[in-house]
Structure 1
Amino acid sequence: MVIRLLSALGLAFGLAIGPLHAEEAKMVPESRLEMQLSFAPLVRQSAPSVVNVYADKQVSRQSMFSGDPFFEEFFGQQMPNRSEKQSSLGSGVIIDAKGLIITNNHVIAGADDIKVALSDGHEFAARIVLKDERLDLAVLSIDPRGIELTAMPVGDSDHVEVGDLVLAIGNPFGVGQTVTSGIVSALARNKVGEGDFSFFIQTDASINPGNSGGALVNMKGELVGINTAIVSRSGGSIGIGFAIPANLVKVFIAAAEGGQPGFTRPYIGASFDPVTSDMAEALGLKVARGALVTRVVEGGPADKAGLRSGEVILAVNGHPVEHPDALGYRLTTAGLGSTVTLLISNNGKESEISLTLEQAPETTPKDERLIDGRNPFAGALVANLSPRLAESLQMPPEAQGVVIEEISRGSPAARLGFEPRDIIINVNGTAIASTEALEEVIQQDPSFWRVEIERDGQRIRQFIR
């Protein structure tokens, strides 16, 4: 009992009695004395690494009289609009003593001015080094001006287990730095958060608005996740919070430190669906898990490795694949250029194949064009699809043709209901195979337009005067 108590005391007080093995560190309290131990030493170690992030942006408000003929008679077409400042509040974690900070992309999205405040009150202007909407991560940089920063060590999130004790540190509701405790309540959660990259650590440590971008810390004082989202009807914590795993954060930080203009995900040239309970028996699986291969691009990395439609990927490098989002996470954290081992099930028979992770190729020049003039597509930015562009737009890797990348607000294209990721198939009876072909058709300036597009696999036809 004395040995167990001393070990627990050492754990609670910053491992003062020396490093513990992972098996020794994970114990259930057995006495009143053990229940009275404090997280204070761990908080003192970790709190200086967590910062507050303040992001401001100017938003233009259109006048309520815009479009009114009477008021436009006096003001002309340029109606007086109002500009106001919007502020968002979040948290961040210092991951390099030179001034690199990791936070959520949604904390700083669209910001014109970003400030970072340390736990001791010092404030610094920050610039964005790298951001990614899909991962919902961003790396900021500050100049500490001689002030010593405390970087938080980044742990291995693959060693996190359900039931592990964790602390959540951040700035909820702008009240100042706050620490809450809890346990890891689930792993590999998906379909939550701001981004589309769904693989989260779930915790019951209280997370509230303003905690976004803050630290989820293990009992060694290591960063194991970036607090990102909550499930709540009231807007407050109800014990279901989510954090982006530290291993994905590591890959993102490495890209920022390498000076990459954007974050690049591996391309394998295949599409996947989750395995439902109804499918599992037909596929020869004992449990409903894995990523079902629905389509393989000819000549792509998956095709070269021998992956075929109908097979199910069960694991990557020994890590289980619970769903297609988990597969994307495992491939991304493995990194471009690496070769991974996939455990495959084919009609209940398991085998392994090796797959080299590559960047999506640009098989067709992008040739972006911003359409203007008197036509239905005015205000749309269009481009030729390739696997690389399809990946960045979250479209199937085999998608081809001319795609709408962006649409200007209030433009003819927006008013007619066109949307980003629409593929333009046919205009006035002419098949559209390239942006050049689209502009040639538009220059004919007909009085009547017959347009066919593809949206999420569905064909839509429009007749426009």
Structure 2
Amino acid sequence: MTTERTPAANESKRPRKLAGRTALLAATALVAAGAIGLSFNPSVPQAVAETAQTQQTIATPQGPAPLSFADLVAKVSPAVVSINVKGEMKTAENDDDSPVPGMPDIPEDNPLYDFFKQFRKGMPTPPSKHTPSLAQGSGFFISDDGYIVTNNHVVEDADDITVTMEDGEKFDAKLIGTDPRTDLALIKVTDKTNKKFPFVNLSEKDPRVGDWVLAVGNPFGLGGTVTAGIISAHNRDIGSGPYDYLQIDAAVNRGNSGGPSFDLDGNVVGVNTAIFSPSGGNVGIAFAVPAALVKQVVADLKADGSVDRGWLGVVIQNVNDDIADSIGLSTPTGAMVTKVTEDGPASKEDIKAGDVIVGVNGDEVKDSRDLARKIAELEPDTEVKLAIVRYGDKREVDMTLGTFPSAKKLASLEGEEPADQSEQMEKLGLSLAPAAKIPGAGEEGVVITEVDDDSDAADKGLKPGDIILQVAGVDVSTPGDVAAGLKKAAESTKGSKDTVKVLMQVKTGDQTRFVALSLKKA
């Protein structure tokens, strides 16, 4: 019976959220069609190299289509390797919050934690224990001197790394660098050899939806396996920070992690990272890191062993229609600051909770993910100009970016990111008390003691125990302060509208968010 780890289990600690059950792939690579960009050493049979020159196609109204992928597979497969990793794995602990039984004990600050936690529900758990493990993954050569790209979750905790080529030849490798935020890693063959390795290039162009991809990998430890499919979609958000992923429908299973997805020219269009699956097996939905992003990350890993990204030091949420209306934005655009991280870059500037960042260096910010992506693309210590809307007034703030901290440090600085509130509100019905008079509520704000089930506040998700910190941009500490804030918001609203949107900053547990409640004018 095989002992290959499940994608989640053996291969790491890393982030991802999806509506549904998503499992990390455990090993092998997707490899595909093509001929361009692959360099062979002399041991590759001449006949194999020549077959790629004679690939047959059939004519269609949309252009040529391959009659067979065999020539392309023969061309690219020498550059794809299986990766075997030895290390120590801690299996799930016997508690309600542990991951899937048999999977590694993933810390809560790890981006993959939420992914695996959903699999735990209703499943029995084994006792916690440390056991030696042998994980499998995939990768591919990107240079003839032995550099290999794979997934971070395959190799990040490895004690020993061995790569196996298509012909069975094995080499020891070392870890050059990892980037948990994109789940990419760079390793290099360490054996002293003059061997020139076959390699493939990262694609210079974006694939189109509907383009062919061919996958070659090691699913379930079976060895070299080929599957074909198409690009199903672009710009998929799988909860891995601000980055978008390719969706493909080529069959991908455990053992495919870290492998390449190829186009028909033999260039890598993506590195396979996760699958969407209720059962842990292939259902025709897999996700790959796009080649353009891979190229940027690999360059940094090769140069420094890590990837440094710019950091604002704020927690943000999307702007919905109610919030936009309450602060005078014509459309729900930009990213609202819900918290300024203590000692972060933004804390040294005129940036406050409630500000909406609508531009970076003259470029429009569409939403919170767009802002995160724009900042992540910039180097630490970069000077940026932010366009900010503060309760209807637009201003600009010049600041210097910091360095994006590790996941553990970020979690300690920011806590959980607040959820975006999007429910429509029609009525306001709250009972309030000063926080200072409620045991355990702290000294700041006003505690909600009751919420009318039929009110707009209830519709918005407010509940007893929530603490109102600001109303219309003014700090509050008594119910009277809240009433004054409501009056201020009503008086500042122009026109003949029967209702006014009132923006409130609300704290729930350790999270803070902004809610725009609808208030009928007197």
Task: Return the offset for 1:196.
Answer: 5.2
Residues 207-239 of structure 1: CA deviation (Å, up to 9, x unaligned): 111111000223332222210000111222111
Correspondence 1:11-410 to 2 at 5 A: 14=35, 30-31=60-61, 34-35=64-65, 37-58=67-88, 84-143=131-190, 145-156=193-204, 159-192=206-239, 198-260=243-305, 262-276=306-320, 279=323, 291-296=335-340, 309-313=354-358, 323-336=367-380, 357-359=401-403, 388=405, 392-396=409-413
- Post-superposition CA distance 1:129-159 (Å, at most 9, x none): 11233432221111362222122212347x3
Q: Which amino acid aligns with 2:410?
A: L
Alignment of 1:402-441 (within 5 A): none
Deviation of 1:124 after TM superposition, in Å, equals: 0.8
Aligned-residue CA RMSD in angstroms?
4.5
Task: State the secondary structure of the residue aligned to 1:181.
Answer: strand
Letter in 2 for 1:123: K
Structure 2: give runs of 5+ residues left out of the alignment.
1-32, 38-57, 93-127, 417-441, 443-507, 513-522
- In the superposition, the TM-score normalised over structure 2's length comes to 0.52
Give the secondary-structure state (helix, strand or coil) at the position aligned to 1:96.
coil
Measured in 2, the distance between the counterparts of 1:255 and 1:36 equals 36
User: Which letter does structure 1 place at the counterpart of 2:337?
Assistant: V
Aligned identity (percent) is 34
CA drift at 1:198 = 4.8
Deviations 1:308-353 (A, max 9, x none): 74425478886x8665345434433444466678787889999999
Distance in 1 separating the partners of 2:132 and 2:389: 54
Higher relative contact order (CA 8 A, sep 6+): 2
Shift in Å, 1:181: 2.6
**Alpha carbons 2:77, 2:216 under 8 Å: kept:** yes
Q: Is the 8 A contact 2:90 2:129 kept in 1?
A: yes
CA distance in 1, matches of 2:396, 2:61: 48
Whether the aligned pair in 2 keeps the contact of 1:251 and 1:333 (CA below 8 Å) is no
How many Å separate the matches in 2 of 1:317 and 1:225? 31
The 1:141/1:304 distance shift into structure 2, 3 A limit, reads same
| Greater shift in the superposed pair: 326-335 or 285-294 | 285-294
Match in the other structure for 2:452? none
Name the residue aligned to 1:402: none
Contact 2:36/2:267, CA 8 A, preserved across alignment: no
Deviations 1:148-183 (Å, cap 9, x if unpaired)? 2122212347x3443333333322111222332323
Equivalents in 2 of 1:307, 1:326: separation in Å? 19
Distance 1:123 1:185, change over 3 A: same
Is the CA contact 2:234–2:245 (under 8 Å) kept in the aligned structure 1?
yes
1:415 paired residue number? none
- The answer (yes or no) to whether the contact 1:289–1:314 under 8 Å persists in 2 is no
Matches of 1:284 and 1:204, distance apart in 2: 44
Change (3 A) 1:41 1:285: farther
Aligned counterpart, 1:22: none
Residues of 2 paired with 1:191 and 1:201: CA distance? Answer: 10
Aligned pairs, number: 334
